[in-house]
Amino acid sequence: MVEVTGTGRDNKGEEVPSTLLAESQGTGKAGDLTIATNRLIIRDGAAVSVSSPEAQAGDLNITANTVALNRGRLTAETGLSRGNREGANINLQGLNLLRLENESQISAEAFGNANGGNINIDTKYLIALPSKGFNGSDIIANAFRGNGGNINITAQRIFGIESRLRPTQFNDITASSEFGTDGVIEINTPEFDPTREELPANLVDVSRLIEQNLCQAGQGSQFTVTGRGGLPNSPNEALSSNETWEDWRVAASDQQPVSSQPTVSRQESIVEAQGWVVNSQGKVVLTAEPIATVPRAPLLTQGGCK
């Protein structure tokens, strides 16, 4: 593992980053910087850089499983482009994970008339976490009066960063030039890995899935909903003598209905009393028949009568 971390102070008291650096101060060409490790960690303001502000810078070549930048920088700065060589280039190869956070930066910039360097990234996952400050984490290939550099990214998945024309406060991928031609950003994200699994040897025989009766297939398909009385004859069909009729009426029951005669209850009429008697208990009882009585002479007679 290679870890570059923190910042320090120079003899003037100014803050300077901890740096792995291949630099040229004069007009000579700067050399390349090559790092091969399992993990490369750059954090807390540190940087890994190739730089030649007045001449041709070299390339920054990194081969690793994981590259993690936490407020760290990978930079290539050039002040001159010679021949067919387009400035300083950054090459990240064979990565499983490239992680950017806290305003980290991968930058290939050109000064003056120089053309911007190219950035080539080959990784399985590219992840940029949301920024906690005023600027996001960026991948930049910019120039001033020369042409902007090209950015080529090949990754299965990219999260949290996208290409834009100019840098913003978010996580950006930009290849622009202040006065020259902007660079080209090319992002390749394969949808699948063709080596992940093999196709089965026994494929489906599609000939068995095709209707062999061409006449019947040419008639097309149809869907019919029949009612209770069945389907009417089609005008295109021949008449048939085997038609039968079926009575759909409800059959009458063989049982005779049973009728019951109403029962009339006889009620005796009320008869007006024709007489009355006194029974042995001294109560008066009304009778329907008149009582035969024997008239008797009065006990008292009037005077003067005989």
Closest CA to 121 of 186, 206, 28: 186
Q: CB within 8 A of 273, min separation 6: which ones?
A: 286, 287, 288
Given a cut of 70, whether residue 252 has pLDDT beyond it is no
Q: What would the two tokens of residue 198 be?
A: 């093999």
Tell me which of 261 and 126 has the higher pLDDT.
126
Q: CB within 8 A of 45, min separation 6: which ones?
A: 6, 7, 15, 17, 18, 71, 72
Closest CA to 4 of 41, 58, 53, 49: 41
**240, 241, 244, 245: CA torsion to nearest 10:** 90
- The DSSP bridge partners found for residue 276 are 286
Given a cut of 60, whether residue 192 has pLDDT beyond it is no
Given a cut of 60, whether residue 81 has pLDDT beyond it is yes
CA distance 65 to 37: 7
The predicted model gives 128-143 an average pLDDT of 87
Average pLDDT, the chain: 79
Query: What is the chain's alpha carbon radius of gyration, rounded to the nearest angstrom?
Result: 58
pLDDT tens for 169-182 read 889 999 888 888 88
Closest CA to 79 of 166, 17, 151, 143: 143
Tell me which of 248 and 47 has the higher pLDDT.
47
Q: CB within 8 A of 166, min separation 6: which ones?
A: 174, 176
Given a cut of 50, whether residue 306 has pLDDT beyond it is no
pLDDT reported for residue 183: 87
204-212 long-range contacts (CB < 8 A, ≥24 apart) are: none
φ, ψ for residue 36, nearest 5 deg: -125, 115
Q: How confident is the model at residue 79 (pLDDT cuts 50, 70, 90)?
A: confident
